[in-house]
Amino acid sequence: MLFAIHCLDKPDGLEKRLAHHAAHRAYLQEGHAHLVVAGPLVSDDGETMIGSLFLVEVPSRAAAEAFNAQDPFVKEGIWGQVIIRRFDKKTDNR
Residue length of the chain:
94
User: Taking phi first (over 0 means left), then psi (-120 to 50 degrees means alpha), and beta for anything else, what does residue 12 get?
Assistant: left
- Residues 20-43 have a mean pLDDT of 90
Q: Are 73 and 20 in contact (CB under 8 A)?
A: yes
Report the mean per-residue pLDDT for the chain: 92
| Chain centroid, CA 12 distance in Å | 18
Binned at pLDDT 50, 70 and 90, residue 12 comes out as confident
Q: Supply the pLDDT for residue 13.
A: 85
Domain ranges of the chain: 2-87
Q: Is the pTM of this model over 0.85?
A: yes
pLDDT band at residue 60 under the 50/70/90 scheme:
very high
Identify the CATH homologous superfamily for domain 2-87: Dimeric alpha+beta barrel (3.30.70.1060)
Confidence of residue 38 (pLDDT cuts 50, 70, 90): very high
